[in-house]
């Protein structure tokens, strides 16, 4: 793996390029045809679509706002015990406290649910899979039982509606 700027990059082999390269571990005398491509391992599926011009800036911003609300609401499954129990009561001195974390969390959850409801029935699944869970388009289409390349069109419609909800111009 190599680092380029703040991105984590890795090379992965892809079959059939026309370039001949001997693949390690092959016992057959013929070299295997392959090519390699540099992949940004920390790029989100929505960022991948934007980088290739498949979603607009407005749609990307709407998806990022939706993901931000999803993360702030802490809707991802927890895999461990929560250790952030409230502290015992004590005399408060100094600056006033910041807003209660649960209030911020509840407000984000309400915004997330309202944005998904604004997208319309049946569109919340593709929004959640691509934007929040970080699934690739192909995986999301297969999981939903959709034909290939149908997800991008449906995701675009859903992101437009979410952008309207967040009033992104």
User: What are the pLDDT digits (tens) for 144-167?
Assistant: 999 988 999 999 999 999 999 999
Query: What H or E segment, with its residue span, contains residue 51?
Result: helix 45-51
- When pLDDT is cut at 50, 70 and 90, the band that residue 13 belongs to is low
DSSP string spanning 103-164? Answer: HHHHHHHHHHHHHHHHH-TTTHHHHIIIIIS---HHHHHHHHTPPTTHHHHHHHHHHHHHHH
- For residue 84, the model assigns a pLDDT of 65
Over its C-alpha atoms, the chain yields an Rg (Å, rounded) of 22
Instruction: Answer whether 0.95 is exceeded by the pTM.
Output: no
All residues at 6 or more sequence positions from 45 whose CB lies less than 8 Å from its CB, including other chains: 130, 134, 135, 136, 137
């Amino acid at each position: 793996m190599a680092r380029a700027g703040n991105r984590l990059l890795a090379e992965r082999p892809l079959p059939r390029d026309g370039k001949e390269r001997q693949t390690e571990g092959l016992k057959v005398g013929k070299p295997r045809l392959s090519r390699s491509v540099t992949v940004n391992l920390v790029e989100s599926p929505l960022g991948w679509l934007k980088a290739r011009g498949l979603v607009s800036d407005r749609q990307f911003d709407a998806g990022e706002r939706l993901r931000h609300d999803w993360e702030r609401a802490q809707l991802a499954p927890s895999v461990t015990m929560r250790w952030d129990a409230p502290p015992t009561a004590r005399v408060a001195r100094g600056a006033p406290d910041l807003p209660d974390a649960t209030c911020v969390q509840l407000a984000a959850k309400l915004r997330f649910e309202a944005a998904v409801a604004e997208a319309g029935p049946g569109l919340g699944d593709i929004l959640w899979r691509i934007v929040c869970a970080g699934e690739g388009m192909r995986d999301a289409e297969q999981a939903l039982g959709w034909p290939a390349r149908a997800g991008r069109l449906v995701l675009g419609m859903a992101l437009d509606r979410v952008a309207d909800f967040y009033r992104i111009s």
